[in-house]
Chains A and B, each alone.
Chain A
Amino acid sequence: MNFLAITRATLAKDMRLEWRSKDAINAMLFFSLLVVVIFSFAFDPTAEESRRIAGGLIWVAFLFAAIVALNQTWAREMKNQVLDAYRVSPAPATPLFLAKAIGNLIFVAALEAVMTPLFIAFYRLRPLGAGWQLIPLAILGTWALVVNGTFFAAVSLRTRAREIMLPLLLFPLSIPALVGMVNATTAILTGETSPALWIALLVAYDVVFTTACLLLFETVLEAE
């Protein structure tokens, strides 16, 4: 029963299921598109201004897209109580969590990949700082949302108002990560300051909370 084999198998299963019934991803892609368009109507800044506020807008838009995806994390497992089949098997709980988190990362990254070019077009963005740093930053930031998101999606399964509970539990804890992402993005776009400090914060955040999630997920899974 090695850890990686189960993580890989669960991830492959989720990807296959996602690929087979593409309706979930299509609906969310359309939702992300809507969020970007609405943001662009709501704010119509000049080129200079847009560099300053784009960081905040992009990450809030990503947050909306992520929440919608994270709410679906355990939908398939709940449908035919397949989660029980997993819990009865000798497989440990951590690979299930890791596979689900990675699956969510890929899912949300796909949404972001669609939203980013639209943002660049609508806001005529051209980063003055080192533009390439936006890619690792996006991964670090998205993982910060996704790892806690997957964990608290499992916690909110046990509550009454499941869809609203996830943001209530996730957002307060994600404030430091959000502050980090927004400021790092703005630093890169405006090129005035160095994003190093913020990226260090995000790395610390990801390490601390990934560890906490891996250690505590089994406790949550077993809490009937």
Chain B
Amino acid sequence: MADTQSTPVVVADGLIKQFGRFAALRGVNAHFLAGRLYVILGDNGAGKTTLLRTIAGLAQPSGGKITVLGCEDRKASRAQIGYMAHPSLLYDEMTGMENLRYFAELYGVRSGEMDRRCREAIASVNLDPDLERPVGQYSQGMRQRMSLARALLNDPKLVLLDEPFSNVDTRSAAEMAALLAEIRDRGKTVVIVTHQPAQLTGHADEFLWMERGRIVNRTTSLSGAGQ
């Protein structure tokens, strides 16, 4: 197990998120440590995605506090966050390399290193960097893996994945699960929101169960079902 530093990577206390009259998050308290893989479970509307987007800085909490990588100011920690969601977050008409080269620019990767970093990221998800086909023509499994490559581009300390396995064939899903476990072993914090936890049974360190905007149970194994 990678050594877990003392300061947690993510600290959420009393997180509240209000969408008009609907309260998506009703006081979430959670700590996520480095080098661990967390799986967030719960049925639709439990607030899983909202929590993940709030950690990613895509949604501002209506109440409570969230600290990522030791700082509350969301701009400071963005370089260290990788985010992936069910939609591919890639441009369909561009090839994988072109997509990654553009996002590398956003992360301030110097032009000299750019090709190497992009090729590395694509290779790390077992895809061919020289594939000339635009991302729109990839299979769903390949597209998810290219999206993961984009999330890992800047070697982030915190990797957030929202439904990475949805309508992905089991072989690609198992491969991706192994990949996520491997980057967790390299000391990163991995937080996955999913409806298919089966893939992660061997890999996950902790399962968090959410209901109606709150974390109701934390177990180390899938069997310890929530109340």
Contact = CB atoms under 8 A, between A and B. Distances in A.
In the complex, are there CB atoms of A and B closer than 8 Å?
A: yes
Interface of A: 1, 5-6, 9-10, 13, 16-17, 20-21, 76, 79-82, 84-91, 222, 224
B24 to A, nearest CB: 11
Interface stretch (B3-11, B75-83, B205-213, B219-227): B75-83
Contact of B106 (A21, A79, A80, A90): A90
B85 interface: yes
B111 to A, nearest CB: 9
B145 interface: no
B107 A90 contact: yes
A85 B89 CA distance: 6
The 10 closest A-B pairs by CB, nearest first: A1-B108, A89-B106, A91-B106, A9-B105, A85-B89, A90-B78, A88-B83, A81-B87, A90-B79, A80-B87
Interface string B106-134: 11100000000000000000000000000
A160 to B, nearest CB: 13
B105 A80 contact: no
Contacts of A81: 85, 87, 89
A88 B92 contact: no
Contacts of B94: 13, 16-17, 20
A9 B83 CA distance: 21
Interface stretch (B32-40, B53-61, B163-171, B188-196): B53-61
A156 to B, nearest CB: 19
B85 to A, nearest CB: 6
Interface in B27-78: 56-60, 75, 78
B150 A85 contact: yes
B59 A13 contact: no
B100 to A, nearest CB: 11
A196 B58 CA distance: 46
B58 A84 contact: yes
B2 to A, nearest CB: 24
A80 B58 contact: no
A16 B99 CA distance: 12
Nearest to B101: A9
B220 to A, nearest CB: 29
Contacts of A89: 78, 103, 106-107
Given A88-B81, A91-B106, 18 more contacts: A5-B105, A9-B105, A13-B98, A80-B88, A80-B89, A81-B87, A81-B89, A82-B91, A84-B83, A84-B89, A85-B89, A85-B150, A87-B58, A88-B83, A89-B107, A90-B106, A90-B107, A90-B108
A79 B92 contact: yes
Contacts of A80: 87-92
B60 A13 contact: no
Given A82-B89, A84-B85, A6 B105 contact: yes
A13 B90 CA distance: 12
Contacts of B56: 88
B142 to A, nearest CB: 14
A17 B75 CA distance: 29
Nearest to B80: A90
Contacts of B75: 90
Given A21-B93, A88-B83, A13 B102 contact: yes
B105 A88 contact: no
Contacts of B91: 13, 17, 76, 80, 82
Contacts of B106: 1, 6, 9, 86, 89-91
Contact of A224 (B60, B81, B90): B60
Contacts of B83: 84-85, 88
B59 to A, nearest CB: 5
- Among B59, B106, B108, chain A packs the most CB atoms within 10 A around the CB of B106
